[in-house]
Structure 1
């Protein structure tokens, strides 16, 4: 019986569960029906609004890439500008543009020279131009920044950036303590005199180089080898530094091995790449059309400018700067704290592209207080022209100027004339005009030019005087009778016959004056030709005289010798 009871109980339990489930579903349906009915009441009774808050939700731009990192912390001059759908984020450029505006942080192998390595990379990537951030000797390894095509514009600034090295020095004799070597390294900090080593392909001229910091990492007394780290100025010779360490210790020393650990902003840990990586990445792109490897090997040039202070410009001002316009305050959107006079800064777009490297002419404090003026002057333009459209000449002042030119209130070049209103002359500042200081500097040059002009004008005045002299002589020769007759006239008390004769002679002279003038012009021309021929002949005569004098001297010498 027990076997029969069990299935019945199971069936009863299943039925109960089904009934309970159906009840729950019915409740849900009722609640849904009730909810749908009461929606209007809930909406009528409830308060639905965006409540005001004292805090504004801030963007977290700490993870934004390259030059846009922490851009929300920049000072805002104005937030109003018209975005232009040109250009792109440096990381999202097309692969052809990406390569042209990129650089490689290369781990240079030992034995080939820096120029050879750069030439190989140019051949692998099939690019037009490549440059590097400072020559490494053939045996030296480490960071070598290779700039491609448009990024070569930054090569000069990278070459002058600071460098860091790890080297091995071999001492010729043993030392008593390891401390002696560390003290010698400490003494060789600051400005040092250096003469390039014999191996260097540079003029061996004494020069001053600064070593900022140095420390001893390890010393092996058995093999007399010391490993040290140095942070120094560009152009420092570590080979000569090792020789100087040996001289200071009195045991002598030489460099055994060297590796560059950092070049400018980039170090060993900042995506260092080998030659094989570059070759493989290009092969993947050529055969499998896979860009990802090239994008990991090559980086946008903006990464080299991360340490510079930033100015963010409006999209409408970008192309004007590419054409060499001054960086003015009205085109500025944001600026960074701590900008000092004559500091090297980078000018960027709203998308984070580098437009140019510039030299600051205003500090952060001045920028915040002024509303017009030149913020910075361009040092090196990086962006290609016409990446953004031309937008100059469309502003309020420029359009007003065009209207005034049409009405005739300004001349065709936009400069004030007689009908220009006085208010325009006072208000309008022409930044393209040279300042008074520059004009004052140019004044002595102009005087010098005028003096040279006057010197060159002297011969022409002399010629004129000569011509006048010739004319006077001809006229004197033509009128001897006239003067004698005047004397007779005075003597005789003025006879009528003499007077009539004098009048007739005067009329004849007037008639012949035209012909005399023509003759004098011809005579002067002939004289000029004669003078020229004489001038041409004179140097030949002088050379003949000189040769004759030399011959005479030789004869005298022979006679004295005999």
Structure 2
């Protein structure tokens, strides 16, 4: 009994509550993180050290006005209106300045049309060139024995690079072009009505109407496109939060009348949802605004990066909050990013983020601050160049990075300097002879220029005479034609207007 009481009174040791050091930190499951931060823990780590900046927003938590400006809509385009009309209506409904779309659909075609709003319109070009998927109904002009097998084989034959000329009803110039069919599959064939339904994955700019005509020719019976629907455009398909125009109209009306933004957030998606398939480079917060102003992405601003990046690959630059900053071309491979201690990581292709969303963090180093003070004090001129008041230590120690190209006057002075030195050591007779030679050269140059101007003048006069002769010949011809026709009237000459 006494032993058990003694055991109860024993205080726990300090080791039981202390956090012991570990060789590896516990892994965080980032597979459920949204958009561009998904699987963040699987990215290669360059460094974990950076100073977070409170500006900026997580894409899904942006204020509603910002959310709209950086938003896209996966719209189910109705039949009959053109893509341009639909996009104009969306701009009016949402009360925004700019809208764009991911690739034109013909008026009768329905399906996936990605509408980009304001800042997201900067991604329109990349989405227009992305691959597309369609479901098409083809009508054959004659009956086929074992039609399912034959049409399936014809679709398989028309796979790969094909020559296509745009249809007659197309709005573009009808030039022969090459387009690639990646994959196609026959879904259904109706033997009685000679109708087939097939799915096709193809390059942007492929004409499915032309493909149907080619299928008809290949089968020997002729054919045309009956109906078409786009089921995927780039990163977004039918199953990725597709909405109708009425959904958007209702969501905007609800926000305007009651202030409820939940429906508007449901129909609009952040632009980052278009970039989830790109390779990623995570950037320090302090480097974000410099990139927004067009600076190249350098090694010191790098935090994490994807695997298998090659030089020239298109990558997306991302903040630590998951916002897309810009699309860029990689200038280093993954291995070089991990090992190099300086250099350019990526060159900017298209900046997406608005400037000054994050604060400026450049020009805050010791030399840059000293230079600013010297400009303010007048010891450097307003462009940061040395003047009479500049201290000798600055002139000797500081070398500007930008190399100034010498002007023509400076170059001429540099050439004349050795000649002047020669002249100083030469005799008076040599100097006099040099002067005479210089005068002679001057006269020759003057004579040559006068000859050239005279030749140019004579050429111009000759040209005028030729034009005059042609005009007279034309007038005579017109007069003769008038006489032969029996009018007897000479062609009226146009009166020249004289400036008063």
Q: Report which of the two structures shows the higher radius of gyration computed on alpha carbons.
A: 1
| Pick aligned residue for 1:201 from 156, 171, 182 | 171
Q: Deviations over 1:319-339 (max 9, x none)?
A: 111111111111111111111
Please give the residue correspondences for 1:263-282 in structure 2 after superposition, counting only pairs within 5 Å: 263-282=233-252
* Counterpart in the other structure of 2:144: 175
Equivalences for residues 128-527 of structure 1 within 5 A: 128-177=97-146, 178-395=148-365, 398=368, 412-413=384-385, 430=401, 465=443
Tell me, what secondary structure is at the counterpart of 1:362? coil
CA shift for structure 1 position 280:
0.6
Q: Which residue of 2 is the match for residue 112 of structure 1?
A: 81
Q: Please tell me whether the aligned partners of residues 357 and 378 of structure 1 are also in contact (alpha carbons under 8 angstroms).
A: yes
Kindly indicate whether the alpha-carbon contact (under 8 Å) linking 1:143 and 1:263 is maintained by their aligned counterparts in 2.
yes
Residue 98 of structure 1: aligned partner = 67
Cα distance in structure 2, aligned partners of 1:222 and 1:187 = 24
CA displacement at 1:72 relative to structure 2: 1.2
The CA deviation at 1:58 is: 1.2
Residues 352, 396 of structure 1: alpha-carbon distance in 2 compared, 3 angstrom cutoff: farther
Classify the secondary structure of the residue corresponding to 1:144: strand
Given that 2:386 and 2:395 are in contact with CA atoms closer than 8 Å, whether structure 1 keeps it comes out as: no
Question: How far apart are residue 199 of structure 1 and its match?
Answer: 1.4
Please report how far the alpha carbon of residue 42 of structure 1 lies from its aligned counterpart in structure 2 after TM superposition. 2.4
Q: What per-residue deviation string (whole Å, max 9, x for no partner) do you get for residues 424-460 of structure 1? A: 77xx9x4x669xxxx9xxxxxxxxxxxxxxxxxxxxx
Secondary structure of the residue that 2:184 maps to in structure 1?
Answer: strand
Q: How many residues align?
A: 435
- The answer to whether the Cα contact below 8 Å between 1:338 and 1:363 also exists between their aligned partners in 2 is yes
What CA deviation, in whole Å up to 9, does each residue of 1:178-231 have, x standing for no partner?
Answer: 211111000101100000001111111100000000111111111111110100
Once the two structures are TM-superposed, the CA of residue 307 in structure 1 deviates from its matched residue by 0.5
CA distance in 2, matches of 1:211, 1:45: 69
| Alignment gaps of 5+ in structure 2 | 406-438, 484-500
Q: Distance in 2 between matches of 1:155 and 1:45?
A: 61
Counterpart of 2:29 in structure 1 is 60
- For residues 161-183 of structure 1, the C-alpha deviation after alignment (integer angstroms, 9 at most, x for no partner) is 00000101111111111211111
Could you tell me which residue of structure 2 aligns to residue 9 of structure 1?
A: none
How far apart, in 1, do the equivalents of 2:386 and 2:98 lie?
Answer: 42
> Deviation at 1:41?
3.6
3-state SS, counterpart of residue 42 of structure 1: coil
Does the 8 Å CA contact 1:409/1:421 hold for their aligned counterparts? Answer: no
SS of aligned partner of 1:185: helix
Gaps of 5+ in 1: 1-33, 440-460, 470-527
SS of residue matched to 2:11? helix
Given that 1:314 and 1:331 are in contact with CA atoms closer than 8 Å, whether structure 2 keeps it comes out as yes
Give the Cα–Cα distance (whole angstroms) in 2 for the partners of residues 240 and 224 of structure 1. 18
Structure 1 CA distance for aligned equivalents of residues 16 and 206 of structure 2: 73
User: How many Å separate the matches in 2 of 1:219 and 1:414?
Assistant: 82
- Alignment partners' CA distance in 2, 1:555 and 1:347: 72
Write the distance in 2 (CA, Å) between the matches of 1:549 and 1:145. 59
More helix as a share of residues? 1
Residue number in structure 2 paired with 1:126: 95
Write the deviation string for residues 360-379 of structure 1: whole angstroms up to 9, x where unpaired.
Answer: 11110111110100111100
CA distance in 2, matches of 1:546, 1:382: 56
Provide the TM-score with structure 1 as the length reference.
Answer: 0.69
Taking a change above 3 Å as real, the CA distance of residues 153 and 466 of structure 1, as seen in their structure-2 partners, is same
Residue-by-residue CA offset, 1:498-551 (whole Å, 9 max, x unaligned):
xxxxxxxxxxxxxxxxxxxxxxxxxxxxxx9xxx9xx99997898579748976
- Is the contact made by 1:408 and 1:419 (CA closer than 8 Å) also made in structure 2? no
- Distance in 2 of aligned mates of 1:351 and 1:336: 17
CA displacement 1:100-123 (0-9 Å, x = unmatched): 110100000111110111111111
Give the structure 2 partner of residue 71 of structure 1: 40
* Cα distance in 2 between the residues matched to 1:252 and 1:553: 55
Distance 1:548 1:168 in 2: 66
Q: Which has the higher contact order (CA 8 A, sep 6+)?
A: 2
1:32-59, Cα deviation, whole Å (9 max, x unpaired):
xx99x99864246984433444553211
Structure 1 residues 169, 392: closer, same or farther in 2, change over 3 A?
A: same
